[in-house]
Structure 1
Amino acid sequence: MDLVLIRHPEVAIEAGVCYGQTDVPLKRHAHESADALKARMNALNVPACADGWHTSPLQRCASLAHALSANAHIDARLSEMHFGAWEGRAWDTIDRALIDAWATDIDHARPHGGESLAQFADRVVKWFEDTCADRDEAVHVIAHAGVVRVLAAHLLGIARDNALQWPLDFGAIAWFRRVRGTWLLMRWNA
């Protein structure tokens, strides 16, 4: 089985703003991004999407999924982490002591009042278990950087806080393949 995760393309919001579950639009039209993504997937020999794209309901993901296929499977569990009171704020305006408190216990702290990393990861992994556990055919997903990184950590059996540091560009492909019960990383940030 192949799991193909695509981070949404660049968004129309200032750099340095915390936008987790804030519903922001794409910077470019979704059809332009879809055409570029299809070409890149073909060049990398990524398996074709057979039964439609799974996606977060947030427009930066869902608009691309709809541009790629008439059959989009919307699931709120694929939404980015909820950052509570930090949503829509520039990171450099958030009290540094709160960010430090969060970093001290990244899995469980919630100084913003939103989700903890553990809560976020539980919801994303639940989506994976419900959707991918018993499948042989490829699953394709348009999601957020946090979702892709949490799934990477889960599939590869590494610490989430390590995977959170991995670079992941807008529109990047992360491709995983299950071989004899073990997940292999085929491509990262492609």
Structure 2
Amino acid sequence: MPKHVIGVLLALVTLAYPLIVYLSLGRLEPRWLALLLLGLALARLVVSRTAVTWGFAAGALLLAVFSWAGNAWMPLKLYPVVVSAVLLALFAASLAYPPSAIERFARLREPDLPPEAVAYTRRVTQVWCLFFIFNGITAFATALWASDATWTLYNGLVSYCLMGVLMAGEWLVRRRVRARIAASSAQG
């Protein structure tokens, strides 16, 4: 199977993961669903072997082993926490070792970013770090203390909606920042 097809399937299963866990409750033993998590880990490594994919794969593998060994749901429910933690580590590391994650994305479209845009992308990367902290804490709290339905609702819908709101809000702010940078360049 081509890597891009595996990548698309991996993305779809990852997005649907909370719903898959929820629908499996009471129908399967957790250890069998741990195989899905193991499959996600291995599929990530087939598609790419970057530090990020190794982070996702290691976290998923660790949770799968704990779930399999203890035949427990909790490790499976902690996967969204791992996702937020790995993304936080990636974005935070890019702040310590520039260019920032968002600057790297921005340079794909605009290789020559002005200094004001670089500062803006750094700030956006910091905002995403805060989001991943909030999301990871909330995912952890829902795994430990919320009902299965609440865990699924947050991790399978609300968190994605919050990401979408953050992306849309950033897009609107970026338009204003671009206009301001263009105006100051025209005056200077």
With normalisation by structure 1, the TM-score equals 0.30
More strand by share: 1
- Choose 1 or 2 for highest CA Rg: 2
More helix by share: 2
Higher RCO, 1 or 2 (CA under 8 Å, sep at least 6)?
1
